[in-house]
Every structure is written in structure tokens, then in C-alpha cells.
Structure 1
Amino acid sequence: MAEIIGVVERLWRYPVKSTGGEPLDAVEVDGRGLAGDRLYAVRDGAGKLGSGKNSRRFRRMDGLLRLGSRLGSRIDAPELFDPLGSPVGDPNAFLRAYLEREDVELAREDAVPHLDQLPVSVLTTATLDWVRTAVPSAVVDERRFRPNILLRTPPGTPAFVEDGWFGREGWFGQEDAGPDGGGPEGARLAFVRAVERCATAGAAQPGLPHAPEILKAIAQAHGTRLGALATVGRPGRIRIGDRLALG
């Protein structure tokens, strides 16, 4: 028996990795994730991608989170926005001046994947409300955690409810219609594991001041894990207002 666990409240994609996201009313989902999500990144001369951390694939580039990005309907023409929200005419020239690096460029994904972890991330309002309660001094909304999907859960849903989804499949649709709820267009996700959080959760971005206490609270309560990661079980469409049913 399918269990309706929530309703899609907001959809986000992040056209340029590590920059601010683009809210959507609906989006197509394929095996890579939401269409256009992290399709572009800031790449340096060594081939590393701009991020909030250093690793084999990524190079820390402070300040990217203060920028915005948007694709709209043009996958091949990403827009970049400065910290004040104004569009940037020449993204490469702007990035080189802004980051004070001459070796960076805005690059489309090729052989090196841009995703940090798995294709789709989901966060519930129950867990987000817990963060607000745990850290009342901080300004908190979902942008802190960069989910693709914010799911509105029923009153009384416990925090970290996402942990109970792992190993199960969920499907999206407008009606409660069993395993094929939402018809042939509805996407399916296979939930795999939690999102491991880093300092980005408390980093400053437009409208959200620096708040390192957020990550500390999550670490103390849940070992830095917050939200769910999923692979795509079936390509399809997700819209605001869709129900998520869990099998």
C-alpha cells in the first residue's frame, strides 16, 4: 500500500555549481537529476571545480554562494548574477575579477561530473523546522541546505523523517493512484542515504548571514546528516503540488 508522505512545496535547481539556485514551478528529471542542475561550474586551470571545499575534484572558491544563476528555458545559455542580483554580461570576465583568479571560466559538464554526491536531494519541512527550533538565533530557510525538492510534510511529522526512506522508492503525481500515481509523466526516485553536511550550511549568502552554529547543532543531534539523497528510478516530471508516495 502506497504511503503519501508529503507534497512538493518548492523545487530548486542550481545551474552553476556552488552558486544560488533557481526556483521552478515544474521540471523534467532524467538519470542525471533535475534538467540543468549543476550543469555548469566554475573551473580553474587545473580542471578543478569551484566549491565550498577542497578535494580531488573540487577547489574551494569563497564567494560563489553569494552569486546567483538561472537557466530559464535556455539550457545552453546560463545567466550569472552578482551579489546584488544584477545580471553579469560577461561571466568569465566577471568571475576572474570577482575571484581574483585569471585561470577560471564558466564550463559545461564534460568528463568530470559536477554533482557532489547523488543526483537528487530532498528535504522535508519537518526537518527544516527542527533546525529553526534548534538554532533560534540563526536565519534559516531551505537555501542553507540547497535541496532540489522541499517536501511539505503533515503536522506532527518528526525531524529527520527522511532517514526512514532509505532503500525505498517514491513516486510523484497529482493524485493518490497507487504505484503509478501521477501517470506516466511522474518521476520516481530511489532513496539511498542521508546528505552529509559541511560548513556551507552556515555560510553567508544573500539574505542569510554567516551562522556556523547551524552545522554545530546538526552535528550534535544527527552527526552532520540532514535530508535525503536519491537516484532516479524513472525519468519524468515533478511539479509543485505533486504528492510524493513511498512504496
Structure 2
Amino acid sequence: MLPLAYIAELWRYPVKSMRGEQVDALEVQPDGIAHDRRYAFLSSGAPAGKPRLTGRERAALLRYSASVSANGTEIRTPEGRRFQVHDPALLTYFEQHLPHGNRITLEHDPAAGPYTDVRPIAIVSTETLAILNRTFGRAVDPRRFRSNLLITFTSEANRELTGGNPDLFPEDAVAGHTLQLGATCRLRLLEKIPRCRVVTLDPDTVEPDPALMKHLDRRYGGRLGIYAAVVTSGPVQTGDAVAMASTEV
């Protein structure tokens, strides 16, 4: 199989709405990526039917980071304090420091799978980000899009997929196909990802940039990147080849 692309970066987000961690390797499981969005927090002030924090609380959580080690999942606060995710003191800290002062509870159910909004895996290409930077007129931090896989297409594949059109996102052209990553992992590429106001928030300061969402809406129908579902699980690592699967599923 000739490579279409290579994996440039891998990311996981152990806690929903918090900063992720860049890693060299990931284990793709049948329901998604290991340690990706396996924890979430609920707020007593969230709207009925949408308990996972209010809009202001979600934005504030972007200043917290989550990482996984042999000791479990650790949370680092904006001030540099560290808590294990199951530590009751973390909930007390949230209630004192997150907006509104609502009661915060931890959600964790290993049988429920990842707490993703729609699909288990999000992919974007470096070519797509370069197009966005050019059309938007300034560089956009890739972290805004909270993707799991950042891939780089080969120049030949990019030309073939886009027909040489410099404004087309190459990953859009492989929607509906199954790709193989590394030796065993296979992902079915699904629909383009609809973006929400989270992409307007600076990953470091959470300051909003509404112009970015307006640009995405006007130019790209509010969509960037592509969702994927797991066909075959397996390990993937940075530098792995990405190819069209020999047998479509």
C-alpha cells in the first residue's frame, strides 16, 4: 500500500474540555483512543439535559491540563497545583475557582466509552491548517481544533485528492473510505467536523476571537477536519504511514 500521508502529531484529551497532551504513541481501542476523554465534570448550574458544565465553566477548563502516567490521570491547574482526577479536593477547588460557584461532580464510567460529542476520533491535516492560515490572513494555533491525529499528506496524494485546487482540504476527499494507520489500525473516515465557539478561544488565555468562527462559517460552512470511527484497533505512533486500506469496510 502506497502511503497517502504520515502521522505528524498525536493528541489525547484525558478530561473532556481540558487541554490535551501530545504523545508519541496512542493505543486505538474499539471504542476510541485509550485515555481520551474518559473523564468529564458535571455542573449543578448546567442546562437540563446538558449537565457537563456551563459555557463559562467549559471555557475556564481550557486553562487546566490533564495528563496520564503510571499513577493515573493528573490535573494541573492554571496556578500550577496538581491533583489526581479522583481527589475530592479537586472538586472543592473547582467550586472555589470556576465561574458561578456551582457544585461540580466527576463523571467516569469505563463501560460508557469516551465522552466525545459525536465521533470517537478527530483528524485534521497540516495542509488544511496551511490553507486556513492563508485564507484567514494569520496563523491559527492548531490546538484550537482539539484533533487526535494531525497528518501530513504526501505531495502526490495531495495533488490527486484536491485536483491541484489550493483551496480544497485533502482529508475531505477521503471521507467514506477506510484508512490503515501503521501495521494494524484501521479507521473509517466519516463526515466533516462542524465547529463550535470553542475554536474561537485562545488555547492559553481563553480570550475569544469571533472572527475565526465567522471565517469558517463563510468560507467552509463552519466545518474543518474529519471525524473517524474505529474499524480495527491497534497501536499508532508519530511517523506511521497512512494508506488506503486494501479492503474497504
TM-score by length of 2: 0.82
SS in 2 for 1:91: helix
Query: 1:22-37 counterparts in 2 under 5 A?
Result: 22-37=21-36
- 1:66 is paired with a residue whose SS is coil
One-letter code aligned to 1:103:
R
SS in 1 for 2:115: coil
- d(CA) in 2 for partners of 1:8, 1:127: 14
- Does the aligned pair in 2 maintain the 1:88–1:94 contact within 8 Å? no
Alignment of structure 1 residues 66-145 onto 2, 5 Å: 66-74=63-71, 77-88=72-83, 90-99=89-98, 100-109=100-109, 111=112, 114-137=115-138, 139-145=139-145
Distance, in Å, in 2 between the alignment partners of 1:113 and 1:152 is 26
- Match in the other structure for 2:191: 193
Q: Residue 62 of structure 2: which of 65, 75, 84 is its match?
A: 65
Provide, for residues 88-111 of structure 1, a one-character-per-residue CA deviation record: whole Å limited to 9, x for no partner.
473212211121434102331365
Partners of 1:107 and 1:233 in 2: how far apart? 27
**Structure 2: 5+ residue stretches without partners:** 159-165
State the AA in 2 paired with 1:97: Q
Aligned equivalents of 2:42 and 2:50: distance in 1?
Answer: 13
Which residue of structure 2 lines up, in the alignment, with residue 154 of structure 1? 154
1:208 CA displacement: 7.0
Deviations 1:29-74 (A, max 9, x none): 112211010000111248x6xxxx9964644323111211111344
> Per the alignment, in what secondary structure is the counterpart of residue 63 of structure 1?
helix
Matched residue type, 1:129: A
Structure 1 Cα separation of the partners of residues 83 and 179 of structure 2: 39
Q: Is the 8 A contact 2:194 2:223 kept in 1?
A: yes
Deviation at 1:155, TM superposition (A): 4.3
Gaps (5+ residues) in structure 1? Answer: 174-181
Equivalences, count: 227
> What amino acid is the match of 1:63?
A
Is 2:164 aligned against 1:166?
no
Q: How far did 1:26 drift?
A: 0.4
- Report if the CA contact (8 A) 1:187-1:237 is conserved: yes
Q: Give yes or no for contact 2:25–2:237 (8 Å, CA) kept in 1.
A: yes
Q: Distance in 2 between matches of 1:207 and 1:104?
A: 22
The residue number in structure 1 matching 2:161 is none
Shift in Å, 1:214: 1.4
How has the CA–CA distance of structure 1 residues 207 and 95 changed in structure 2, closer, same or farther, with 3 Å as cutoff? closer
Partner of 2:227: 229
Q: Where do 4+ consecutive residues of structure 1 move more than 6 Å?
A: none
- Percent identical pairs in the alignment equals 29
SS for the counterpart of 1:78 is strand
Alignment of 1:173-188 (within 5 A): 173=182, 182=183, 186-188=184-186
Alpha-carbon contact 1:67-1:85 (below 8 Å) kept = no
Classify 1:134/1:209 alpha carbon distance in 2 versus 1 (closer, same or farther; 3 Å).
farther
Instruction: Report the counterpart of residue 37 of structure 2 in structure 1.
Output: 38
Matching residue's letter, 1:171: Q
RMSD (Å) for aligned C-alpha atoms: 2.5
Cα displacement (A) at 1:221: 1.2
